[in-house]
Amino acid sequence: MNLSPNKNFCLIVNPHGGRKKGLHLLSEIQPIFDTAGIKLEVIVTEFAGHAREIAKQKDLVGYDGMIVIGGDGTMHEILNGLFTREDQQTIPIGLIPGGSGNSLIVDLELTDPVDAAKAIVDEHIRKFDVVEITTNGRTVYSFNIIGWGLVTDVGIRAEKWRWLGPARYTIVSLLKVLRGTQARSAQLILDGKEIADEFTFVMVCNTRYTGAMKIAPQAKLDDGLLDVIVLRHGASRLKLLSLFNRIYDGTHVEDPVVEYYTASQISLTSNQADPLNIDGELTGTTPFDIEVRPRAIEMFDRRKEKCQNRLVISGKGGQSVPLC
């Protein structure tokens, strides 16, 4: 069912995301909203952090939703703006892929901007989990991943090589593996269960995808759980390269060196203050504490809400439990 006429949406477009086609995308999708009788108030971001400022401060009264044209970085800003509003108001978010990675949109299978726009017009609203991270005495909100170790090393280098486009993550990951990965000692606690060891990386995932990589193939956006991928230190370069090859279809998790857990409360303390990769942004350091805020954000999706089962996993075993 289409949105009834006279709906008003605020549309925030990042003209610098991805291949800088945000404004072009806007002209492509605008007719879909015009035809549906939906009024768009367009705001073009003028600086990094502007989307966050808008989401935090804009008077939301009279708007039926907020549309975002951008990538994971822009979505991260919107989420953190919304969740730190003084009036605690919220609004359904519609995402149009205008970045490089677009992890959430890949999860939702809405990588075609026209499909993403139609999902908004069709008004299928779903509630998704939000991740609350406490790091350095401040709170950061995430919808995608919290990465530590190799994952952050890749993010730091990839940021310097933005000119390579989306391929930068793959190229940098391969180079890091070939040069040899660093061992980091840490204590990881998953719902009270402690794992103390040397790790290559720990990745806490809310989405299945991070960019085009299917890092957490079992992850669900609305199950109140996070999927944790753990790689302890010690795997050979050859093993890491073969795993990297399998990360795109998610079969890396079938390898015994990859541990896969689900948890809703997670903390990690390492020997030194290591940087974190939160939704692709390099922000915060270890130690950190994580908690899920189940189904705390409303988003437009192609599908309507429906009750599903999911697999709750610890190490290598698992059991299927209903979500609702």
Copy the structure tokens of residue 292. Answer: 């899920």
In the chain, the DSSP E strands lie at: 7-13, 38-44, 65-70, 93-97, 125-135, 138-142, 145-149, 184-190, 193-205, 226-232, 258-263, 265-270, 275-278, 281-285, 288-300, 309-315, 317-322
The owner of tokens 């002209």 is 27
Copy the structure tokens of residue 308. Answer: 């599903």
Q: How far is the CB of 221 from ligand ATP (least distance, A)?
A: 16
Nearer to ligand ATP, 77 or 222 (CB): 77
- Distance of alpha carbon 144 from alpha carbon 142, whole angstroms: 6
Q: How far is the CB of 202 from ligand ATP (least distance, A)?
A: 21
Q: How far is the CB of 284 from ligand ATP (least distance, A)?
A: 15
How does DSSP assign 170-187, residue by residue? HHHHHHHHHH-PPPEEEE
Nearer to ligand ATP, 168 or 184 (CB): 168
Catalytic one among 34, 59, 64, 72?
Answer: 72
Cis bond leading into 113, ω under 30°?
no
Q: How far is the CB of 159 from ligand ATP (least distance, A)?
A: 9
Nearer to ligand ATP, 49 or 315 (CB): 49
- Distance of alpha carbon 199 from alpha carbon 149, whole angstroms: 8
Interacting residues of 167 by C-beta distance below 8 A, sequence separation 6+: none
CA distances (Å), 160 to each of 19, 22, 54, 100, 157, in order? Answer: 16, 22, 27, 14, 5
DSSP 254: G
Q: How far is the CB of 105 from ligand ATP (least distance, A)?
A: 8
Nearer to ligand ATP, 54 or 235 (CB): 54
Q: How far is the CB of 214 from ligand ATP (least distance, A)?
A: 16
Nearer to ligand ATP, 174 or 311 (CB): 174
Q: Do residues 193 and 224 lie in contact, with contact meaning Cβ atoms separated by under 8 Å?
A: no
- Distance of alpha carbon 16 from alpha carbon 277, whole angstroms: 20
> Where on the phi/psi map is residue 60: left (φ > 0), alpha (ψ -120 to 50), or beta?
alpha
72 catalytic residue (yes or no): yes
| Residues within the interface to ligand ATP (CB under 6 A) | 14-18, 45-50, 70-74, 77, 99-102, 280
Nearer to ligand ATP, 135 or 144 (CB): 144
